């Protein structure tokens, strides 16, 4: 298998070096950037398979980095945040990160999250070809592309997986905990707001009427006319 490449964006040197050392020990090729602009440049130059991205950065912050790289190409992003309340804020903003880790974190936890994210993307890419059509929305699972009314819509890997999951069972109410377990692979039932933020992003990108909220339960995909 091709060696996988991870871009670590972190301006705190000690954290950046520990993260890079751990990921190299796990067999990844690691590139590093210490500010917003160089993160975007390095991303374009090395085409990493995953990005570990600190929020507070010189130049412009991790949110802006996330927006710019996700606009270029869909890539899994693990965001590093300074505090829990910062994570809450980011989840609410639906910036397109796939997972969050609050400092301080153990290198073991970081490695585990990275492996889960990569497995999810690789598993999704290995799924047999299937093109789904829902009204004017076309979903190509092989190319991981979504087109609405002839125009391509850029989704993050997690948004794409969530959409495919919902689209596979249209008009069926799926509980948030189950979506979290099936799409994110988290079984403990925590972090259901992560589901909410990704639904919010899908509505913003594909239309507010696409996903119906069933209060206190979960979400259902409505087939557009
Ligand atoms: Ca920082």
CA–centroid distance, residue 28 to ligand 1 (Å): 22
What mean pLDDT value characterizes the chain?
A: 88
DSSP class of residue 11 equals S
93 pLDDT more than 80: no
CA–centroid distance, residue 91 to ligand 1 (Å): 18
CA–centroid distance, residue 58 to ligand 1 (Å): 8
- CA 152 to each of CA 43, 83, 164: distance values in angstroms, whole numbers, following the listed order: 22, 35, 16
CA–centroid distance, residue 222 to ligand 1 (Å): 41
CA–centroid distance, residue 186 to ligand 1 (Å): 27
CA–centroid distance, residue 27 to ligand 1 (Å): 25
Instruction: In whole angstroms, give the CA distance from residue 174 to residue 217.
Output: 8
Of 125, 139, 10, the residue nearest 76 (C-alpha): 125
Domains and CATH numbers, the chain: 5-124 (3.40.50.2300), 128-221 (1.10.10.10)
CA–centroid distance, residue 56 to ligand 1 (Å): 4
Instruction: In whole angstroms, give the CA distance from residue 86 to residue 91.
Output: 9
12 pLDDT more than 90: yes
CA–centroid distance, residue 144 to ligand 1 (Å): 32
CA–centroid distance, residue 60 to ligand 1 (Å): 11
> What DSSP letter does each residue of 98-154 carry, written as one string?
SEEEESS--HHHHHHHHHHHHHHHHHHHHSPP-EEEETTEEEETTTTEEEETTEEE-
CA–centroid distance, residue 12 to ligand 1 (Å): 6
Which of the residue ranges 6-10, 128-132, 141-145 has the most confident prediction, judged by mean pLDDT? 6-10
Beta bridge partners of 214: 218
Mind listing the pLDDT tens digit for each residue in 77-90?
999 998 877 877 77
Mind listing the pLDDT tens digit for each residue in 37-65?
999 999 999 999 999 999 999 999 999 99
CA–centroid distance, residue 10 to ligand 1 (Å): 6
CA–centroid distance, residue 34 to ligand 1 (Å): 9
Q: In the structure, what pLDDT confidence band is assigned to residue 92 with cuts at 50, 70 and 90?
A: low
- CA 195 to each of CA 78, 115, 169, 183: distance values in angstroms, whole numbers, following the listed order: 16, 20, 17, 9
Instruction: In whole angstroms, give the CA distance from residue 94 to residue 79.
Output: 12
Of 36, 42, 45, the residue nearest 11 (C-alpha): 36
CA–centroid distance, residue 11 to ligand 1 (Å): 5
Q: In the structure, what pLDDT confidence band is assigned to residue 101 with cuts at 50, 70 and 90?
A: very high
Q: What is the mean pLDDT of residues 4-23?
A: 97
CA–centroid distance, residue 65 to ligand 1 (Å): 13
Q: How high is the pLDDT of residue 59?
A: 95
CA–centroid distance, residue 155 to ligand 1 (Å): 26
């Amino acid at each position: 298998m091709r060696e996988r490449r991870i871009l670590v964006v972190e301006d705190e040197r000690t954290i950046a070096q520990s993260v890079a050392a751990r990921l190299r020990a796990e067999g990844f090729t690691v590139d590093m950037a210490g500010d917003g602009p160089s993160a975007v440049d390095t991303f374009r130059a090395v085409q990493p398979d995953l990005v570990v991205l600190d929020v507070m950065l010189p130049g412009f912050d991790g949110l802006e980095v996330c927006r710019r790289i996700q606009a270029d190409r869909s890539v899994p992003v693990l965001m590093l945040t300074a505090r829990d309340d910062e994570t809450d804020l980011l989840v609410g903003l639906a910036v397109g990160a796939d997972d969050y880790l609050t400092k301080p974190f153990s290198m073991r936890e970081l490695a585990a999250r990275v492996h889960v994210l990569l497995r999810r993307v690789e598993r999704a890419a290995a799924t047999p070809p299937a093109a789904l059509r829902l009204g004017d929305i076309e979903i190509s699972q092989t190319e991981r592309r979504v087109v609405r009314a002839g125009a391509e819509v850029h989704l993050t890997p997690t948004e794409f997986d969530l959409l495919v999951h919902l689209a596979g069972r249209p008009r069926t109410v799926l509980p948030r905990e189950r979506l979290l377990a099936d799409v994110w692979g988290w079984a403990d039932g925590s972090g259901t707001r992560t589901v909410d933020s990704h639904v919010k992003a899908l509505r913003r990108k594909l239309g507010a009427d696409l996903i119906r909220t069933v209060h206190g339960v979960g979400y259902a995909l409505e087939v557009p006319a």
